[in-house]
Amino acid sequence: MLVVDLPERTFVAVDNRAGMNATQGAGISAAQSVIDAGATVLISGHCGPKAFRALKAANVDIYLTEAGTVAEALDKYEAGELESIAGADVDGHW
């Protein structure tokens, strides 16, 4: 996971492997990493229901993109081309 400071586009890489390898709770773990990093915006390819609820409870705005690179996703966000989502875009796994 990359935490990017805009508009400078400086970034810090955050290890999220523990959540990725979890048999359950991967979405909550990823959301908690975002929250712990102090992010106010998440730009991602998908967001499940548990992660969505945790992020919204922490006042994190969520945007989805199919951009191929982080730079493309940031360009779209800064240009106002991404819309925040009002709910999860994928189902939970359980």
pTM for this one? 0.85
Q: What is the mean pLDDT of residues 65-92?
A: 92
Residue-wise pLDDT tens digits, 49-67: 999 999 999 999 999 999 9
- Residues ≥6 apart with Cβ < 8 Å to 74: 4, 6, 9, 43
What count of other Cβ atoms lies within 10 Å of the Cβ of residue 10? 9
- For residue 58, the model assigns a pLDDT of 97
Residue 19 pLDDT greater than 70, yes or no: no
Backbone angles phi, psi at 45, to 5 degrees: -80, -35
Does residue 47 contact residue 55 with C-beta atoms inside 8 Å?
Answer: yes
- For residue 15, the model assigns a pLDDT of 84
Place of tokens 């006042």: 59
Task: List Cα–Cα distances, 57 to 7, 32, 61, in angstroms.
Answer: 25, 11, 10
Domains and CATH numbers, the chain: 2-78 (3.30.420.130)
Residue 93 pLDDT greater than 80, yes or no: no
- For residue 89, the model assigns a pLDDT of 85
Mean pLDDT, the chain, integer: 89
